A and B are shown apart, each in its own frame.
Chain A
């Protein structure tokens, strides 16, 4: 399909700006002006709408069909959350207004949303306070690592290391590293969870904290989690909870009660923001009482008369991590969603997420290898090792699912399982949808035995086949340039 730039017709226009009929020359010295206008396409509104509609048809979303991408929580997000996030009372509110003298009174509704969401998330997680500032999950991790650093600095602790299990998301070690820490990996045991003995070996006075996902990326809840927390606390290390998998625990277990000190949540996983093809998300961070002073600036506080204000006077704070108050429109979606679920709805989310995952595991475990054969939480991990022996790898199974109308599961993660296939069905899917998916998985397992070539040929129904990623990386073509920026060297 042509690039939008190749559809351009000189002189064609879509949007026009009001008051553009002036003949007055532009009031800027010529020496500051660009030589040539940027080579943007020249199109009608219909051209633009058709181009992007055609592109959208080459995409697959949760609204298109089942999307069991493990660790990503691709659940259905109610449309009302999007609707309220666009209410003009919020969408048209300039973030500098509360920084104006007398401006705080003009944003009371928005500050109420931030404060109330803080309260709700704190209750759900057993934390004392949340900041809404982090702009994505990994940004929350970085903020958490900065809070860990601020805490130890305040206490005069010399700490250099953060412990991270081998099954962790790549963002954990990356976030710890860019916050200035060395990363030490802790091995999992045969049950797929942190090995307590390995932890004891790794633990010394240099340990600033430990980052954990719970349930972990294998979908397993570590029964010894509280002991682990207490061990890390013996060296004054802080326990960091990566909330990527909170969907499994809503209303069942609160990170604060299993001795975590810092929590980040991915509002775009658990709390009603669609992923948008890669963001925007939000990664609020919650902390226990002794870390509240280190939260980013500003924080929303409430006066005795019930009015809200922003507190910037916070000498121990890690400082600004976002320009303002976070991805506000995402926080607003989460607020609406939690209000709609209520205390009972939250519990039903985790119950059904876990039920759906265990149902998939039960029905597939005869056909695919199950590295950890025990009840799972919100996601289950298979290995395609049995099929790989027949020449059909996890990636081929993923592509075969595409031809059968499903988005593939996550493959090759976590790194601790060979040919990993990680399936997270989420609570919003029905048994009928799961059954259709399971039938496809069983058919693929059959074909891997009887006709592997038919699986290796997949996908055949997509606008393009398997793409040459090596060529893309070896001779990168990352932009269609116009003449003035240089030439396309491919």
Chain B
């Protein structure tokens, strides 16, 4: 039988030790009328069969498309060393590090991950991970409510529409006033936000670069919301922080984001990595696990899970969050990725993304009828084009040429039916970008 070691002879010995006649007797507590009468599931397959079957399903997917899709989830190059390290079973098959003496590997890695996230975002404290960028926005909102004791949050509509939908699901029974402001020309509208901030405002949430790819300096927004005693939450794209001003430099209070781009494949939606960092003064209000450095009885440095009094296994219904299992191995992945890139490598990578996107933009704008949706804005690696026809039609036309040309925005922004969100990573070659521009010209 697959994955079971004991032989029939051993089972008989064990039953004798227990003092029962058969395995059936061990289930005597389940009343007979509640016993399962048999599952309607096919007989088991061998490894060879299951690999063949799943490989065949994989071939039903068109993963061979040349993709210019982003929208918060990016196809970056993954070095071979990363898989080799992360698949070490001492990391991979361990549990949450509750026994620190035999978990120093995981614990030090979490501490280093927290340090890397702080250095990347310009903040002072980070947790061991959250599920994804969307739940991280939600957790940041809940954290801002705890810190301020207020009930109102303002989310700009240039924050990912997917994250905004998630936040709405989570908060709609909680008596929280969740306001959405309309962005203006691709950036959060300062006047619209200022008009909404009041003494019950816990936080303003923005994204940088935002869902439209536009870059912002939100220092003024931090000032606006701080003046009324609220917090600024910034969701960000970690690769862009190779170049861009950090949320910390812009005086954000809580920084979150989707860490998938740090060495994880897109994998049809997960597993991904939610990261969160904050100011040291808010550390105890932060959700999730946190690793800390301490010493052992002989004065040697070591690491433990700390501040556990905030967590569900101690505080139960009064915990800062219900999170238990998080994205440990994904956090390790991102740390290894950032270590392999290193200080210069991350800068270099983000420069290549920005340059290639600029090249793509200049080429695509030469296609007759194509313009920038938000002229005059600055971009990192993603931007919105106005097309002369509906984005949907363009996408269908370019599918036939093996291209996923971008994301048509009409699905989430009805007034942007003719708009296409195009993302460029270092994996896209000059030839592929040229082919995209050429193909677009052909079908328009």
Contact = CB atoms under 8 A, between A and B. Distances in A.
Question: Are A and B physically bound partners?
Answer: yes
B275 interface: no
B67 interface: yes
B14 A355 contact: yes
A462 B102 contact: yes
Interface in B299-325: 300-304, 306-309, 311-319, 321-325
B3 A76 contact: yes
Interface string A11-55: 011111111101010111101111101111111010011011101
B418 interface: no
B133 A323 contact: yes
A106 interface: yes
Interface stretch (B90-98, B148-156, B367-375): B90-98
A179 B138 CA distance: 13
Interface stretch (A232-240, A445-453, A469-477): A469-477
Interface residues of B, number: 210
Given A28-B378, A72-B95, A280 B339 contact: no
A482 B378 CA distance: 29
Given A136-B324, A472-B292, A476-B292, A330 B271 contact: yes
Contact of B345 (A17, A112, A278): A17
Interface string B278-314: 0010010000011111111110111110111101111
Contact of B399 (A102, A258, A338): A102
B63 A101 contact: no
A117 to B, nearest CB: 11
A94 B73 contact: yes
Contacts of A28: 215, 243-244, 354, 378-380
Contacts, number: 714
Contacts of B79: 14-15, 45
Given A220-B29, A430-B5, A486-B280, A324 B169 contact: no
B163 A323 contact: yes
Interface in B15-64: 15, 17-20, 23, 25-31, 34-36, 38-47, 50-51, 53-63
A35 B217 CA distance: 13
B346 A40 contact: yes
A467 B294 contact: yes
Interface in A74-101: 74-78, 80, 82-84, 86-97, 99-101
Contacts of A362: 17-19
Interface string B93-115: 11111011111111011011011
A433 to B, nearest CB: 8
A93 B267 contact: yes
Interface in B80-96: 81, 84-85, 87-96
A355 B4 CA distance: 12
A469 B105 contact: no
Interface in B233-273: 241-246, 248-249, 265-272
Given A92-B75, A223-B31, A375 B26 contact: yes
Nearest to A346: B39
B314 A170 contact: yes
A329 B330 CA distance: 12
Contacts of A330: 270-271
B297 A139 contact: no
Given A80-B51, A94-B69, A485-B124, A49 B85 contact: yes
Contact of A466 (B77, B297, B379): B297
B120 interface: yes
Contacts of A472: 292-294, 304, 306
Given A34-B246, A53-B85, A280 B100 contact: no
Contacts of B290: 476, 478
Interface stretch (B195-203, B220-228, B403-411): B403-411
Given A24-B355, A28-B380, A280-B327, A468 B294 contact: yes
A291 interface: no
Interface in B419-437: 426, 429-430
Interface string A158-201: 00000000000111011111111001000000000000000000
A142 interface: yes
B245 A34 contact: yes
Most chain-A Cβ atoms within 10 A of its Cβ — which of B50, B69, B289, B392?
B50
Most chain-B Cβ atoms within 10 A of its Cβ — which of A88, A323, A338?
A323
Most chain-A Cβ atoms within 10 A of its Cβ — which of B20, B283, B304?
B304
A321 interface: yes
A171 B114 CA distance: 24
B142 interface: yes
A309 to B, nearest CB: 14
A215 to B, nearest CB: 8
A469 B29 CA distance: 41
B404 A277 contact: no
A32 B245 contact: yes
A351 B23 contact: yes
B71 interface: yes
A465 to B, nearest CB: 4
A1 interface: yes
B387 interface: no
B268 A93 contact: yes
B416 interface: no
Most chain-B Cβ atoms within 10 A of its Cβ — which of A18, A52, A339, A358?
A52
B183 interface: no
A107 interface: yes
Nearest to A458: B101
Given A76-B3, A479-B126, 9 more contacts: A57-B105, A100-B395, A109-B61, A278-B325, A279-B325, A324-B162, A325-B269, A328-B267, A471-B295
Interchain residue pairs A-B with the least CB separation, the first 5: A89-B58, A342-B44, A324-B269, A276-B329, A278-B328
16 contacts: A13-B344, A38-B242, A56-B105, A64-B89, A92-B63, A103-B404, A107-B62, A137-B325, A139-B135, A180-B174, A351-B23, A355-B6, A431-B5, A431-B14, A467-B101, A476-B290
